[in-house]
C-alpha cells in the first residue's frame, strides 16, 4: 500500500493523511496505480459535476451558467493536482519552443522561471480545456444524458491522461542522469504499463452511455503519447519529469476535445 499512497500523494493534492515512505523504489512501483489514481481524480470531477448540475439546481434552485460551470470544473481539476502537471507543461514548452540545441533546452526546462513560450502555451491549454468543458456543460432544460456525458468525459480525462504518462515513463529513456522523474523510470517496467492499460480499458468500457467517444479518446491519446514522446526523445535523447507533465496535460485536452466534438 505504500507504493499506492506514494503515487496518490505525489500526483494529487487531496487531503489524505498517510506517512508514505518516499523512496525511489516506492515511486517506481507506484506507476502501476496511476490509472487508478486518475480514477480518483475523475471521481472528484464527477462529484463537482453532480454538485453544480444536480444538487444546486434541485435543492437550492441555483442554475449555473455553462461559462461559470466550466470555470469551476476547470478550477477543481487544477486544484486537485496542485497544478503539478501545468508546471511541467510550461517548462517543457519553454524548452521545446526555444529552438535551441539539446543541452540548452534541458537547461531552460530546469530553470524555475517561466518564459513567454510557457505562459502562452499554458493560456492556450487552459482556454482549450475551458472551451471543451463549456461545450459539454448542460444548458437549462437539457436531458439528464448530457450531464452523464460531461461526467464521463471528466472522469475518463485523468484516467486516460495518466496512461499517456505511463507510456512515456515505461517506453522511453530518461534524458537526464538524475532528476525526480528518473526514480519512476528506473523502477517501473512494461508490466506497469500493462496494468495501467488494463485498468484504463476497464474504466473506458464502463462508459456505455458514450462508448464511441470514450474509445476514440483512448485510442487518440495512446497515438498522441507515442508520437509526442518519440518527437521529444529524438530532440532531447529522452524524456524528463516535465515532459511527463506535458504529455499528461495535452492528453487531458485531447480527451476533452474529442468528447466535445459531437
Distance of CA 148 to CAs 46, 113, 228, Å? 9, 40, 31
pLDDT at residue 16 in the model: 87
126-182 residue pLDDT tens: 999 999 999 999 987 666 789 999 999 999 999 999 999 999 999 999 998 877 778
Q: Is the pLDDT of residue 31 over 70?
A: yes
d(CA 31, CA 159): 13
| pTM of the predicted model over 0.85 | yes
62-104 residue pLDDT tens: 999 999 999 999 999 999 999 999 999 999 999 999 889 999 9
d(CA 77, CA 64): 18
| 4-8, 23-27, 153-157, 197-201, range with the lowest pLDDT | 23-27
pLDDT at residue 139 in the model: 82
Q: Is the pLDDT of residue 247 over 90?
A: yes
d(CA 20, CA 5): 6
Mean of the per-residue pLDDT values for the chain? 93
**What is the band of 1 on the pLDDT scale with cuts at 50, 70, 90?**
confident
d(CA 242, CA 84): 9
Looking at the chain, the whole-number percentage of residues with pLDDT higher than 90 is 79
pLDDT at residue 181 in the model: 77
107-127 residue pLDDT tens: 999 888 899 999 999 999 999
Q: Is the pLDDT of residue 26 over 90?
A: no
**What does DSSP assign to residue 174?**
B
Amino acid at each position: 500500500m505504500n507504493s499506492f499512497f506514494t503515487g496518490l500523494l505525489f500526483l494529487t493534492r487531496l487531503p489524505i493523511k498517510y506517512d508514505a515512505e518516499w523512496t525511489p523504489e516506492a515511486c517506481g512501483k507506484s506507476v502501476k496505480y496511476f490509472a487508478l489514481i486518475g480514477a480518483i481524480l475523475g471521481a472528484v470531477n464527477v462529484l463537482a459535476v453532480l454538485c453544480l448540475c444536480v444538487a444546486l439546481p434541485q435543492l437550492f434552485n441555483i442554475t449555473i451558467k455553462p461559462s461559470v460551470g466550466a470555470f469551476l470544473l476547470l478550477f477543481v481539476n487544477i486544484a486537485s493536482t496542485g497544478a503539478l502537471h501545468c508546471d511541467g507543461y510550461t517548462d517543457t514548452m519553454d524548452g521545446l519552443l526555444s529552438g535551441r540545441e539539446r543541452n540548452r533546452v534541458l537547461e531552460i526546462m530546469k530553470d524555475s522561471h517561466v518564459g513567454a513560450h510557457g505562459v502562452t502555451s499554458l493560456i492556450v491549454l487552459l482556454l482549450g480545456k475551458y472551451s471543451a468543458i463549456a461545450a459539454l456543460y448542460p444548458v437549462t432544460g437539457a436531458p439528464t444524458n448530457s450531464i452523464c456525458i460531461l461526467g464521463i468525459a471528466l472522469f475518463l480525462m485523468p484516467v486516460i491522461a495518466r496512461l499517456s504518462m505511463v507510456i512515456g515513463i515505461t517506453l522511453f529513456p530518461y534524458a537526464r542522469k538524475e532528476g525526480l522523474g528518473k526514480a519512476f523510470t528506473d523502477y517501473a517496467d512494461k508490466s506497469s504499463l500493462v496494468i495501467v492499460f488494463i485498468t484504463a480499458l476497464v474504466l473506458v468500457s464502463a462508459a456505455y452511455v458514450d462508448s464511441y467517444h470514450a474509445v476514440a479518446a483512448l485510442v487518440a491519446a495512446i497515438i498522441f503519447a507515442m508520437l509526442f514522446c518519440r518527437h521529444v526523445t529524438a530532440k532531447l535523447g529522452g524524456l524528463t519529469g516535465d515532459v511527463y507533465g506535458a504529455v499528461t496535460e495535452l492528453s487531458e485536452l485531447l480527451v476533452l476535445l474529442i468528447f466535445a466534438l459531437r
